């Protein structure tokens, strides 16, 4: 929500896509997301910049390993820093900029598995709200 407020052109383009696809005032179902590629790009970009869990679940090395020249002894605890991957300039051009078009069309729906499993979630103490202010 914050990135949409900070990037009004992105918000405008998302609204335009919604109006062109569904018209004004028509309800949108979860199954309709397949028809909204720009909205999908916004969601993916938000998760790239702000992963829900910045570090993945810790893993234990089952044997000695060599990872890109780093020696990892058996029984070492390993953490993957997803936040750092999402901001790595070797992977992303302008990694600290919110640019949904960066990932449009890079992943086909068949390549992405979003099946849900039981996990941990935290509710916000106070849900986020956007309050418009007239200047």
Q: In the Cβ-directed half-sphere of 73, how many Cα atoms lie within 13 Å?
A: 1
Torsion 90-94-96-97 (CA) sign: negative
Average pLDDT, stretch 9-35?
A: 88
DSSP 70-105: EEE-TT-EE--BHHHHHT-TTTSSSTTS--GGGGTT
CB 56 within 8 A of CB 82: yes
- Considering the domain boundaries, does residue 76 fall inside one? yes
Name the more confident of 126 and 106: 126
pLDDT at res. 115:
63
pLDDT at res. 24:
82
Residue 111 scores a pLDDT above 90: no
What's the pTM value of the predicted model, to 2 decimals?
A: 0.67
- Considering the domain boundaries, does residue 6 fall inside one? yes
CB 87 within 8 A of CB 96: yes
CA atoms of 73 and 87, how far apart (whole Å)? 28
- Considering the domain boundaries, does residue 118 fall inside one? no
CB 10 within 8 A of CB 42: yes
Place of tokens 């750092």: 84
Model pLDDT for residues 46-83, shown as the tens digit of each residue: 999 999 998 889 989 999 999 889 899 999 999 999 99
Q: How far separated are the first and last CA of the chain, in Å rounded?
A: 20
CB 77 within 8 A of CB 60: yes
Helix then strand then coil, % of the chain, to nearest 5: 40, 10, 55
Supply the range of the domain harboring residue 36: 2-109
pLDDT at res. 26:
82
Structural domains of the chain, count = 1
Query: For all residues of the chain together, what is the average pLDDT?
Result: 83
- Considering the domain boundaries, does residue 120 fall inside one? no
């Amino acid at each position: 929500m914050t990135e949409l407020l900070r990037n009004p052109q992105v918000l405008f383009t998302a609204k335009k896509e919604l109006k062109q696809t569904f018209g004004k005032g028509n309800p949108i179902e979860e199954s309709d997301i397949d028809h909204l590629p720009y909205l999908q790009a916004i969601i993916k970009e938000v998760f790239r910049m702000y992963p829900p869990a910045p570090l993945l679940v810790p893993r234990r090395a089952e044997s000695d390993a060599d990872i890109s020249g780093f020696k990892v002894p058996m029984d070492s605890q390993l953490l993957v820093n997803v936040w750092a991957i999402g901001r790595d300039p070797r992977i992303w051009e302008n990694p600290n900029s919110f640019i949904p078009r960066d990932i449009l069309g890079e992943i086909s729906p068949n390549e992405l598995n979003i099946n849900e499993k039981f996990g941990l979630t935290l509710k916000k103490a106070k849900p986020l709200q956007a309050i418009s202010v007239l200047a």
